[in-house]
Chains A and B, each alone.
Chain A
């Protein structure tokens, strides 16, 4: 009989878990809609910004702009120190969302280690920070509560350190790694090289024959503020994109969990019925054999 009680308790506990996961799924769906709306509006701007910067960088590379030697746009040989900024969620229960980012960070860390380049790891989001702390990987600095509530001012403040250090020559590169939103079902990992501006994709073709003029008294200053805005916005965009992805990942994980829970309840119910039947049978046999022995 104790067995029956046990199974009953199990069924109750699993259905309670199912209630929680279903609620979490609903919450994530609602939050996803809002986060995606925000990301969608910025997506066009982000793409165009990348395009414009890439083009300016490409033209500088192909020497279509007269004699500019700007640190932001020129590939640095033998880098000594680079910044890696990663964005993870503050909360778990979202499937492989955080671990994907962490794996990419580890891969990049190893690549740089093999090349004997020092890395300053800067973390956003509790989960990633906890992981690296636990594994005793040193973090240069870290912020929490930013990846769950993206805020332009705080994100600008955070990334400003890297831009400043890059400008001063303390670091020779800046990467951002985050998990972005692709669609409701999938997330896409982004490993972005922000500084120096990536010019690999830009080919010096015939099409860009005309010379790009930079109309400003102070070209350096203009490129400075351009890159500032570019890096700042890329940081902010990766945060909002990451939030949307986080919610979509959680929604999916919670959906799977809810389905698993109902499968479990179903099989537990079968087990319960079988056990009950067995108990009844045993009881009957006991009564019958009792009566038989009385004869």
Chain B
């Protein structure tokens, strides 16, 4: 399977930097998936969840509040303002990340329905891990 490199950066540091199989991004015009050899593209991201399919086929989710993405043939750079990765070794760590994610969502001053969808999505992502 072809791989592509994904980097997710926030002003507070790097959240993700690894090779992945595919990524689903919450674009301004709707969600879109990116596989290797995708056409070059630049667009804005909305508040939402980035789903990352890693090399070992597990899925990791990262919650973001605003961002921009630049897709090159085999490289994706995602610059986001605020992000929380839903991951952790233990249950308590995951619960902590979830708590953080909820906080980030409440900070987003967007329309309410969108937030509701996002929060249900991260709940799902956390349940997958628990």
Contacts from A to B (Cβ < 8 Å): 41-42, 44-45, 48-49, 51-52, 55-56, 210-217, 222, 225-226, 229, 233
Q: Does chain A have a CB within 8 A of B102?
A: no
* Known contacts A216-B29, A217-B29: A41-B13 contact under CB 8 Å: yes
User: Of the candidates B28, B32, B41, B79, which one forms a contact with A45 in the assembled complex, judged by CB atoms under 8 Å apart?
Assistant: B79
- The CA of A48 and the CA of B11, in the complex, are separated in Å by 11
- Hey, which chain A residues are within 8 Å of B66, CB to CB? 229
Nearest 6 Cβ contacts at the A-B interface: A215-B43, A212-B40, A41-B13, A45-B9, A210-B40, A52-B70
25 residue pairs of the A-B complex, CB under 8 angstroms, read A48-B7, A48-B77, A49-B79, A51-B77, A52-B77, A52-B79, A55-B70, A56-B70, A210-B73, A211-B40, A212-B42, A213-B40, A213-B41, A214-B41, A215-B27, A216-B28, A216-B43, A222-B28, A222-B42, A222-B43, A226-B42, A226-B68, A229-B66, A229-B68, A229-B81
B-side interface mostly: strand
Contact string against A for B residues 1-16, beta-carbon threshold 8 Å, 1 for contact and 0 otherwise: 0000001011111100
User: Of the candidates A41, A52, A210, A212, which one forms a contact with B68 in the assembled complex, judged by CB atoms under 8 Å apart?
Assistant: A52
* Known contacts A211-B40, A213-B39: A48-B28 contact under CB 8 Å: no
User: Of the candidates A214, A217, A225, which one forms a contact with B42 in the assembled complex, judged by CB atoms under 8 Å apart?
Assistant: A214
Give the total of B residues in contact with A, Cβ under 8 Å: 24
- Hey, which chain B residues are within 8 Å of A215, CB to CB? 27, 29, 32, 41-43
Contacts from B to A (Cβ < 8 Å): 7, 9-14, 27-29, 32, 39-44, 66, 68, 70, 73, 77, 79, 81
B32's closest neighbor in chain A, by CB?
Answer: A215
Q: Smallest distance from the beta carbon of B38 to chain A beta carbons, Å?
A: 10
Q: Smallest distance from the beta carbon of B42 to chain A beta carbons, Å?
A: 5
- Hey, which chain A residues are within 8 Å of B77, CB to CB? 48, 51-52
User: Of the candidates B9, B40, B44, B79, which one forms a contact with A216 in the assembled complex, judged by CB atoms under 8 Å apart?
Assistant: B44
- Hey, which chain B residues are within 8 Å of A44, CB to CB? 9, 13-14
Count A-B contacts at CB 8 Å. Answer: 65
Q: Smallest distance from the beta carbon of B5 to chain A beta carbons, Å?
A: 13
- Hey, which chain A residues are within 8 Å of B43, CB to CB? 214-216, 222
- Hey, which chain B residues are within 8 Å of A55, CB to CB? 70
Q: Smallest distance from the beta carbon of A233 to chain B beta carbons, Å?
A: 7
Known pairs A49-B79, A210-B40, A213-B42 / 14 extra A-B pairs, C-beta < 8 Å = A42-B11, A45-B79, A48-B7, A48-B77, A51-B77, A52-B42, A55-B70, A212-B42, A214-B43, A215-B42, A216-B28, A222-B28, A226-B44, A233-B11
- The CA of A139 and the CA of B62, in the complex, are separated in Å by 45
Are A45 and B27 in contact, CB atoms less than 8 angstroms apart?
Answer: no
- Hey, which chain A residues are within 8 Å of B44, CB to CB? 216, 222, 225-226
Q: Smallest distance from the beta carbon of B32 to chain A beta carbons, Å?
A: 8
Are A212 and B41 in contact, CB atoms less than 8 angstroms apart?
Answer: yes
- The CA of A233 and the CA of B43, in the complex, are separated in Å by 18
- Hey, which chain A residues are within 8 Å of B73, CB to CB? 210
B73's closest neighbor in chain A, by CB?
Answer: A210
- Hey, which chain A residues are within 8 Å of B39, CB to CB? 210-211, 213
B10's closest neighbor in chain A, by CB?
Answer: A45
Are B28 and A42 in contact, CB atoms less than 8 angstroms apart?
Answer: no
A52's closest neighbor in chain B, by CB?
Answer: B70
B13's closest neighbor in chain A, by CB?
Answer: A41
- The CA of A226 and the CA of B28, in the complex, are separated in Å by 13
Q: Smallest distance from the beta carbon of B129 to chain A beta carbons, Å?
A: 26
- The CA of A220 and the CA of B21, in the complex, are separated in Å by 32
- Hey, which chain B residues are within 8 Å of A211, CB to CB? 39-40
